[in-house]
A and B are shown apart, each in its own frame.
Chain A
Amino acid sequence: MWPAGTRAGHRMAEPEVIYDVRDLVCRFRQPRTSLRHRSPSLTAVDRVDLQVTAGQRFGLVGESGSGKSTLLRCLAALQQPTSGSVRFRGQELVGRRDRQLRFLRGDVQVVFQDPMASLDPRMRVRELIAEPLVAQRAPGSHERVDELLDAVGLPRGSASRYPHQFSGGQRQRIAIARALAVRPSVLLADEPVSALDVSVRAQILNLLQDLVERFDLTLVFVSHDLAVVRHVCDTVAVMRTGQLVERGSAEAIASEPQHPYTQALVAAVPTLRRALDGATPSTLLRDVPSDTASESLVRRDPPEPS
C-alpha cells in the first residue's frame, strides 16, 4: 500500500470533482434470434452512479464481464453509452462526437491491459509516444520523447525500435510513457498489469505509483484482482453484472466487505498467508457465501440452444 502521506495532501482542500457519472446505462445489442421479437440486448453497464475527485485513486473491481472495461471506455468517451450522463470537470461527454472531445483528450489518457495489443506493431516507439502530441497538434520534440522514456525507465535508444522488440513489462512502460505525453491530469488504466508476470507486475505497479505521485495524477484503475486494487487504490468500487454493488475505502472493502458478493470475492482469493495457514481449496470455498459462489450469478451464461 502506498504511504498515506501522499494521499493526505489532496484531502485537505475540498477536492474538485473530476468525473461525475449519473445513471449510466450501456447496452449492447445482440443478433436477433426471432423474426417477431426485437433483438435481445445485454446491459453491460446498468444505472451506475459514481464520482471521482481530483487526486483520488479510484479502483474498480469485479469479475470478468461485469462491465468494468465498458464503464472505463465510457469515461474515456471511447464508447457512447445508451443513456445517462458522464460529466468531466462539469462538461457533459455523452453525445459529443470525437472531434468535440479535444479538451478531454489532452487531459485524460488510457493505459490498456495488453501492452502488445495496445501498441501499433507498425510504429516505432518514438511515433507511438508522440502520437497523442501529434493528434493534439503539439508536435512532440525528440526531447519530450526522451524525457518520457527516462520517466518510465527505458533507455533513450528505445525510441527507434518497434514494440515487438521489447518484453511485456517494457511494452507496458512504453504504453505508460505514451499516456503521459500530453501531461494529462487523469489516467485511466484498464487492467494494466493483468497480462504481466508477477515479478514484472511489481515493477509496473511501482512505476505507476511513482508517476501518479510525481505528476499529481488522478487515477482510475480497473482490475479483477482485489489484492492489486487494494494495493494501488484508496477508493474501491465493486462491480457485478453491470451494477456497482459496493463502494468504500480500500481498507474497508478488504477487511469488512458488506455486500455478499464482495464477501465472496474476498473469500475466494487464495493468498499465500492462507496457504501457509493450511488453507485448501475446500476451505476457500467454505468461506464463500453459497449463493454468490454459484456461477449463474456472473451473468455469462450463454443463451439456451435455439
Chain B
Amino acid sequence: MLVQLTKRTLVLLVSLGLASAMVFWFLSVLPGDPAQVALGTGATPEAVAEMQERFGTDRPLTVQYLDWIGGLFVGDFGVSYVTGATIGPLIIDRLMVSLWLVGAGMLVALVIAVPLGTLSAVHHRRPLGTVLAGVSQVGIAIPNFLAGILLIGLVAVSWRLLPAGGWVPPAQDPIEFLRRLLLPALALGIIEGAVLARYVRSTVLNVLREDFLRTARAKGLTPARALVRHGLRNAAVPVVTILGLQLAVLLVGAVVVERVFVIPGLGSLLLDGVANRDLLLVQGVVMVLVLAVLVLNYLVDVLYTALDPRLRAAA
C-alpha cells in the first residue's frame, strides 16, 4: 500500500512538473506581446520595453518559467498583465464557483444515474430496461448547452420560477445561491447523469453476471437484496474511477454551461483571459485545471485501491 502510494505520488509530482512546463511553453508562443496588450495601442516602444521589464517578459523563457513555477508553490500566480490584479485569489474565487457548480452537477448526475443505470441493468433485455437505456442514450446525445438553453427558456423565461443565470455566493445569501445554482446544475447534471447511467448500467450488468452474486442468492438473499448487499459495492469500484475522470472533464466542460448561465467560474475566466490575451491568467487557469485533473486521477487511483482489498494487498 505504502509502496503504491509513494509510487503514485511520485508519478503525480513528475506529471505536474511536466504539465506545467508544457503549459508554459505552449502559451509562451501565444501571439501578442503582453506588454503591448497591456499598454494598449498607443504605447511607445520605450513604454513597452519598460513594461516588459516590469512583467519580466524580457528575461529568458527558462528563467520566467522557474520564476512562475516557484511562485505556484506558494500559491503566487503572479499579477495579471492586463488588469494588474493578483491572479491567485481571482483563480481561487472562480475555482470555488466552478467547484460548487460541478459538485452540484455531479450530485444531480449521481441521483439520476445510480437508479437509472441500476434499473436498466436489472431490467436488461426487458422493456423497461430497454426504455431506460434508450433514455440515457438520448440524454448523452444532447449537448449540455442545449439543455441549458431549453431550461432557461422554459423555467426562467416562460415560467419565471428561477433566475436565468448569474451567481450569488452561498455566504451572501444561501437561498438565492441555491436558486441560481439549480438550473445550471440541472443542465450539467442531467446530461452527465445520462453518461454516468451508462457506466452504472454496464458495471451493474457485469456485477449481475458475477458468480458471487449467484452465491448470494443461493444463500437466500432476494435478487434485489443480493444486488444491494453484494453487488453495488463491487459496481462502485469501477464507477468511482469514471466519476473521478468525469469530474475532471466536467470541470472544463462546465465552461459552456457557465457561459450560458453567466456564471463567473473558472471556465469563463479562461475564456476572458484568452480574449484579453492575459497570458499569465490563462496560464494560471490552465494549470489549475490540469492540476485538478491530475489530482483527481490520483485520488481516484488511491480510492480505487482502498475500495478493493485485492489491490490493497497486491500493493
Contacts and interface: CB of A to CB of B under 8 A. Distances in A.
A contacts B: CB pair < 8 Å? yes
Contacts of A32: 3
A34 B313 contact: no
A35 to B, nearest CB: 6
Interface size class of A (residues with CB under 8 A): under 10
Interface string A294-306: 0000000011011
B313 A35 contact: no
A305 B2 contact: no
B314 A31 contact: yes
B6 A35 contact: yes
Contacts of B2: 34-35
Nearest to B7: A32
Interface in B271-300: none
A303 B3 contact: no
Contacts, number: 18
B6 A306 contact: no
B6 A303 contact: no
Contact of B3 (A35, A302, A305): A35
Interface size class of B (residues with CB under 8 A): under 10
Contacts of A34: 2-3
A41 to B, nearest CB: 15
A23 to B, nearest CB: 31
A282 B225 CA distance: 39
The binding surface of chain B is classed by DSSP as helix
B39 interface: no
Nearest to B6: A35
Contacts of B1: 306
A116 B2 CA distance: 40
The binding surface of chain A is classed by DSSP as loop
Nearest to A302: B313
Interface string A8-37: 000000000000000000000001111100
A32 B2 CA distance: 10
Interface string B300-315: 0000000000001111
With most chain A CB atoms within 10 A of its CB, the pick from B1, B3, B312, B315 is B3
Contacts of B312: 306
A73 B1 CA distance: 33
Interface in B1-36: 1-3, 6
A189 B255 CA distance: 61
Contacts of B314: 31
Nearest to A303: B313
Contacts of A306: 1, 312-313, 315
A19 B312 CA distance: 43
A222 B3 CA distance: 38
Interface in A25-71: 31-35
B310 to A, nearest CB: 10
A302 B312 CA distance: 13
A306 B312 CA distance: 8
Interface in A205-252: none
A306 B315 CA distance: 9
A240 to B, nearest CB: 26
B315 A31 contact: yes
Contacts of A31: 3, 314-315
A33 B4 CA distance: 8
Interface in A256-306: 302-303, 305-306
Interface string A174-199: 00000000000000000000000000
Nearest to A30: B314
A31 B1 CA distance: 11
B315 A33 contact: yes
Contacts of B313: 302-303, 305-306
Interface of A: 31-35, 302-303, 305-306
17 contacts: A31-B3, A31-B314, A31-B315, A32-B3, A33-B3, A33-B315, A34-B2, A34-B3, A35-B2, A35-B3, A35-B6, A302-B313, A305-B313, A306-B1, A306-B312, A306-B313, A306-B315
Given A31-B314, A33-B315, 16 more contacts: A31-B3, A31-B315, A32-B3, A33-B3, A34-B2, A34-B3, A35-B2, A35-B3, A35-B6, A302-B313, A303-B313, A305-B313, A306-B1, A306-B312, A306-B313, A306-B315
